[in-house]
Amino acid sequence: MARRSGATEYLVTGFFIVLVALGVYGLLQQRVVKILLPPPLPTATTTVSVATTAVMAQVLLPIAIPVTADTLTPPPARLAPEQHNDETLPAPAEVKAIYATAYTALSPRRLAALIDLIKTTELNAIVINVKDGEHTFLDGHMAAAIRQLREAGIYPIARIVVFQDNELAERNPAVALRRPNGSIWDGGGYRWVDPASQVVWDENVRVAEAALALGFAEINLDYVRFPADGALDQIVYPETRFASTTKVEIIRNFLDYFVETVKGVYPKAIISADIFGYTFLSDTDLGIGQRVVDLADAVDVIAPMVYPSHFSPNTFGYKNPAAQPYETVRRALVMGLEKLMAEGHDVTVRPWLQDFDLGAVYNAAAVREEMRAVTDAGLNAGWMIWSPQNTYDREEFVKKQ
């Protein structure tokens, strides 16, 4: 009995060694996206700063998803004229979009489910990451996904994370923000590149052109700003010289260059830019280079992220603005529109709306209240819905007739 038990023990031990070896091998063959978790919810007595808002805005997929080598592509080169896709889809009069990461869009099962949701409801568009600050997703897999969307009559929007760019900061340290000791600076684990760098500008132009060549109809620029959190006083900029320019001027110069260059190749492409919801309330640039009246007419569409959870306690007199989705969204939009009209700006505003639990539970009813607020604020260009996990309740949307 003892001998048989010992043999069994050796067999079991050997089996587990094989399993461990296979597990290590698997980890070496794939990279895994970092798990990003939202920060603790603010209390009623907490003052939420712009920096805290920036951290909350970085709520991404809270689950780890494997990234295989054939899913990723290096930054694209400039395209030859014959490579350009001139069949740019016109934008719907009222864009009603949901958000998806590249991982969701590249999953046949999940993409099929979202296509079904869009085709059977009032939705008509989808925003997909093509550059998320870690990787660029512009290959045959993404091209196939975009073909499916176009065949289904769905308006595809490519989201590009611009100046928060871990990958570029590591690949080209010369454009990365640094600390006084020369090491690469990061804010909350995120590395940034200099918003004044022509190299950075051209890098994002190339990504946009490649996305449009694949069949995307619109480019949505996010993180078009300076850092908002971290040790900001420790940043050394490679090229920015604040003695001769301002953050607002740098962001505006980038947008002007980006739009002129991309539209020189794709004149029918739509360019939208995401901005902090707070820019609609503030007369300053919030220290990040986003002053709405200075940037609004640089692009075709401005997209304020008016997530109620991202406004400080007592904003508009509400102890918890997240618990007041209708009033928080409506009042924020109205304030911003008043600023724009006072400066003589006639621009298209298409806000991002919250579809995630932060500060309050956001069920279908809460999301519908946000949509109603957009209409009641006098906007008719639509909205975009942000769910970090890309899960949407069908009850949020009106069924197609």
pLDDT of residue 243: 85
N- to C-terminal Cα separation, the chain: 74
Beta strands in 323-374 (DSSP E): 348-349, 352-354
pLDDT of residue 30: 33
| Rounded Cα gap, residues 117 and 400, in angstroms | 10
Are 183 and 234 in contact, with CB atoms under 8 Å apart? Answer: no
pLDDT of residue 245: 94
* Burial call 352-367: b when 16+ CB within 10 Å, e when fewer: bbbbbebbbebeeebb
* Angle ∠(365,367,368) on CA atoms, nearest 5: 65
| Rounded Cα gap, residues 126 and 119, in angstroms | 11
Residue 217, SS3?
A: coil
pLDDT of residue 74: 47
| Distances 389 to 8, 64, 155, 274, 334 between C-alpha atoms, Å | 45, 11, 21, 19, 29
pLDDT of residue 87: 64
pLDDT of residue 46: 31
pLDDT of residue 400: 86
| Rounded Cα gap, residues 280 and 337, in angstroms | 8
pLDDT of residue 61: 34
| Rounded Cα gap, residues 394 and 363, in angstroms | 11
Residue with tokens 């007199």: 317
Element of type H or E holding 181: none
pLDDT of residue 188: 84
Per-residue pLDDT tens listing for the chain (401 residues): 333 444 444 444 444 444 434 443 333 333 322 222 233 323 333 333 444 444 444 443 332 233 333 334 444 554 443 444 446 688 999 999 999 999 999 999 999 999 999 999 999 999 999 999 999 999 999 999 999 999 999 999 999 999 999 999 999 999 999 999 999 999 888 999 999 999 999 999 999 999 999 999 999 999 999 999 999 999 999 999 998 999 999 999 999 999 999 999 999 999 999 999 999 999 999 999 999 999 999 999 999 999 999 999 999 999 999 999 999 999 999 999 999 999 999 899 999 999 999 999 999 999 999 999 999 999 999 999 999 999 999 999 999 87
10 Å CB burial of residue 14 (0-12, 13-18, 19+) is exposed
Give the residues across from 236 on adjacent strands.
178
